[in-house]
Structure 1
Amino acid sequence: MTSEVAGDTVDQDVFGGVHSHADTIHVAVISDSGGHLADAEFATTVAGYAAALAFLNAHGQVTAIGVEGTSSYGAGFTRAARSAGLDVVEVNRPDRAERRRIGKSDSIDAYAAARAALSGRASSAPKDDTVAGIRALHNAARSAVKARTAALNQITHLLFTAPETIRAKYGQLKGADRTDALARLRPTGDAVNVAVLTALKSLARRVKELTAEHEELTKILDSEVTAHNPGLRAAYGVGPDTAARLLVTAGGNPDRMRTEASFAALCGAAPVPASSGRTNRHRLSRGRDRAANAALYRIALVRMSSDSRTREYVARQAAAGRTKKEIIRLLKRAIAREMFRCLTTTVAVPGIADLRSLRQSKNIMLTAAARHFGLWPATISTLERGIRRDDALAHAYRDWLHAA
């Protein structure tokens, strides 16, 4: 490495670190030997990002930039840096033990991010923007569910303390029946009854509006997820919400995940070594992305209830003496392997668009087709509409329709 300051020119390899906030970013520069060179604060604007990049380039040839929050506060700078052809790596928040030892400030955190990029401890590429729309739709749909749940809980608790006439009339109703009845009511009676009924009516209408909003967002999300990764969406037990969660976790650039083991670890579905001395064992991972772990859990539950191969596997493992928790843990690890393949490779999805039209052209009722295969009509209907994927059944169904 050589350094030359003459003429405001610096010829050396440097590493950058960025600690991001909503309104500002703090940028630090270190040499390739780890020496601190400079740090400064910039605004989170287009002009601020340009100034930050100029600041970095003024100190030498930028090898890599470690950025905290590449998918949150640091997203804007990450886009600007990558557009300028610079290598950006994602940096986790500083270790708590180190933070207690050396303290915390924007400058300290920015230099820590730069050292993480230099040492190779931070090596993951940031997520690209191809799943940004899916992330936004998923967050909006989830927030609608949370708000609806809060409104339903308010209705339940309000009925607990409501006057006896109101509680007797509406307290025994459940689910959609109660919501519909409360949304249609006309508040009458004394002042207390009118106030309580008005509150219940308002909450019930809110529930109905949020339900409609969630259904609309889910339809749009399903369309986006299917267009982005049809193989993932078509996997057994993977719905719009689950597929969106896995795409958000993985990001749109599959090169971020080197192996299926690293993806399983990212989802908290890989066993963690917990050996010491003469003890050699593994424990369950309780860290990483818990939302992705929950998505794998939901897929496992769906397959345990309705997938014949999974049910046979569960029966074998139960006969071997494993508990339900252990079996689900094994299933989540296997499902993570399958999801990794769907996320990183193009998975061919057999066509099913011809099944319904073929059945109708033969004048075969849905119930007759279901009776032939010993299934519920809903199973055949969901297969025809692409909601349920069962390749073996689809092939057998198509062959039977052609022969009918």
Structure 2
Amino acid sequence: MTMVADPARERVEPRGRADELAIDAVLGADTHRDTHSLELLSVRGASLARIAVANTAEGHAEALAWVAAHVPTLQVLAGVEGTRSYGAGLSRALGAGGVQVFEVEQPTRRARRRGKSDTIDARLAARQVLEALENGNLAALATPRADGDREALPILLRARDELAVGKTRAVNQLRALLVTGSDTDRTLNPRRWFTTTDLETIIRRRARRGETREQAVRRSEARRLATRIRDLERDITTNNRALREIVTDLVPGLLERHGIGPVSAAQIIVSWSHPGRCRNEAAFAVLAGASPLDASSGRQERHRFNPGGDRALNRALHTIAVARWKTCPRTQAYITRRRATGKTNPEIRRCLKRYIAREVHKALSQAHTP
């Protein structure tokens, strides 16, 4: 049921990224798998209307028509939870209809002190945008991640994680199977990763005269595991090739930087998304959990790790830092210099990740500057 309060709507000139807009209302959306709860607030915080729609294409069209019925100018700012999850379709529909969409976080327990319901969460989502609008700080709100080629990268990254986990599991099973086998089996159980030759040897092994049932089962299972490992390695190679192609198209030259591979580069692009999502390189470092947190006390001045942010992005920066730590002469000279000042290895790694965050943000910004 739609509930309408005062049809008169105030108009304000928001500061920040909406300087040219005259905002009539603010929309909040609490998204779920089956339904979405939406509420319209005036720029003074009064509730104009609320509705629940299905999480389908028809429901998204209904939501946009409902917004247009109450705000014909469509001068609306929307705060949507889960813009890359259950709210992805709604975010696209609102954006295509001319509504500016922001990504809001789930309410904290303190914000929910008066109760928890979909209607309350939708109102709190709208109030997050309204507070940013009143404070002239719309730039602090994140915009939804971009679609297109960038959206292809997380699909490939999720597939690669699944392939890597499957390969590791199969390798461990094969090693356990061979180490308890005959002397011939143990010669094919190296303390390193199985080579292509090792896998082919296991796959081509034939039955021996007089082998027992246990030996036949062990040989058959080893062949199955070796075949799976070989196929997974081929799939991972294909996946890396696809990642490299998309990354090169989106950010030319990023893979040429020392220590940056296709997987780390893809994760960086996914988290960065598009120009404007992070207003500067400091905000990108905060997103990556690479910004230092002051931990000084008394005469001691120090900083510690930031445990927040996008941990997948932080892991990508860590992988780059470790690669440079081992193979980059410039980084090794920096490590020597910082050790001389009393820095520990964890503190040096933290500094390296902060520098890498600044470097990749600059590369991303330059690649997407008209």
| TM-score band, normalised by shorter chain | 0.7 to 0.9
- Does residue 244 of structure 2 align to residue 233 of structure 1? no
Indicate conservation of the 8 Å contact 2:5/2:48, yes or no. no
CA-CA distance at 1:291 after TM superposition: 1.2
Report 1:163-174 matches (<5 A): 163=181, 168=186, 170-171=188-189, 174=192
| TM-score normalised by L of structure 2 | 0.83
Please tell me whether residue 330 in structure 1 is matched to residue 348 in structure 2.
no
Distance 2:359 2:151 in 1: 23
- Structure 1 CA distance, aligned partners of 2:336 and 2:187? 47
Give the gaps of 5 or more residues in structure 2.
11-23, 133-137
Give the structure 2 partner of residue 106 of structure 1.
118
Q: Distance in 1 between matches of 2:183 and 2:336?
A: 51
Q: Which residue of 2 aligns with 1:22?
A: 33
Q: Contact 1:16/1:29 (CA < 8 Å) preserved in 2? A: yes
User: Structure 1: which amino acid aligns with 2:122?
Assistant: A
Within-5 A mapping of 1:53-202: 53-60=64-71, 62-99=75-112, 101-120=113-132, 123-130=141-148, 131-159=150-178, 162-163=180-181, 168=186, 170-171=188-189, 174=192, 175-176=194-195, 177-186=197-206, 189-202=211-224
Give the Cα separation in 2 of the matches to 1:113 and 1:136: 28
Residues 257-308 of structure 1, C-alpha deviations (whole Å, 9 max, x = no match): 1111100110000012457999976432011111111111111122222222
Change (3 A) 1:172 1:229: closer
Q: Distance in 2 between matches of 1:276 and 1:338?
A: 31
Report the equivalent of 2:45. 34
- Which whole-Å CA distance do the structure 1 matches of 2:225 and 2:114 have between them? 51
SS in structure 1 at match of 2:29: strand
**Of 54, 64, 80, which aligns to 1:43?**
54
CA distance in 2, matches of 1:231, 1:23: 42
Structure 2 CA distance for aligned equivalents of residues 195 and 301 of structure 1: 42
Check the 8 A contact 1:65/1:89 in 2, yes or no: yes
- Does residue 320 of structure 1 match 2:341? yes
AA aligned to 1:92 is: E
What is the deviation of 1:92? 1.2
CA contact (8 A) 1:10 1:58 kept: no
1:11 CA drift (Å) = 4.4
Find the partner of 1:52 among 52, 55, 63: 63
Q: Deviations over 1:21-52 (max 9, x none)?
A: 23322222222222334332212222111101
The one-letter amino acid of 2:353's match is K
Q: Are residues 192 and 284 of structure 1, via their aligned partners in 2, closer, same or farther at CA, if it must alter by over 3 Å?
A: same
CA contact (8 A) 1:144 1:210 kept: yes
For the 8 Å contact 1:151–1:203, the answer to whether it is kept is yes
The answer to which of 80-89 and 164-173 deviates more is 164-173
Does the 8 Å contact 1:274/1:283 carry over to 2?
A: yes
Q: Bigger shift: 21-30 or 87-96? A: 21-30
Letter in 1 for 2:143: A
| TM-score, structure 1 normalization | 0.76
SS at match of 2:39: strand
Q: d(CA) in 2 for partners of 1:311 and 1:273?
A: 26
**CA distance, structure 1, for counterparts of residue 183 and residue 162 of structure 2:** 34
- In structure 2, how many angstroms separate the alpha carbons of the residues matched to 1:109 and 1:186? 64
Residue type of the alignment partner of 1:266: L
Over the residues paired in the alignment, what is the CA RMSD in angstroms?
2.8
* Conserved? CA contact 1:56–1:62, under 8 Å: no
User: In structure 2, do the counterparts of structure 1 residues 225 and 70 end up closer, same or farther at CA, with 3 Å as the change threshold?
Assistant: same
SS at match of 1:16: strand
Q: Mapping of 1:195-234 within 5 angstroms? A: 195-234=217-256
Measured in 2, the distance between the counterparts of 1:51 and 1:222 equals 40
* Aligned residues of 2:178 and 2:186 also touching (Cα < 8 A): no
Deviations 1:189-211 (A, max 9, x none): 33333333322221221111110
Report how many aligned residue pairs link the two structures.
340
Aligned to 2:21: none
After superposition, where does 1:245-394 map in structure 2 within 5 Å? Answer: 245-251=267-273, 253-273=274-294, 282-346=303-367
CA distance in 1, matches of 2:306, 2:174: 38
Q: CA deviation at 1:309?
A: 1.5
Return closer, same or farther for 1:69/1:301 CA change in 2, 3 Å cut-off: same
Task: State the secondary structure of the residue aligned to 2:79.
Answer: strand
Q: Mean Cα displacement is larger for which, 281-290 or 331-340? A: 281-290
Bigger proportion of residues as helix: 1
Tell me the percent identity.
37
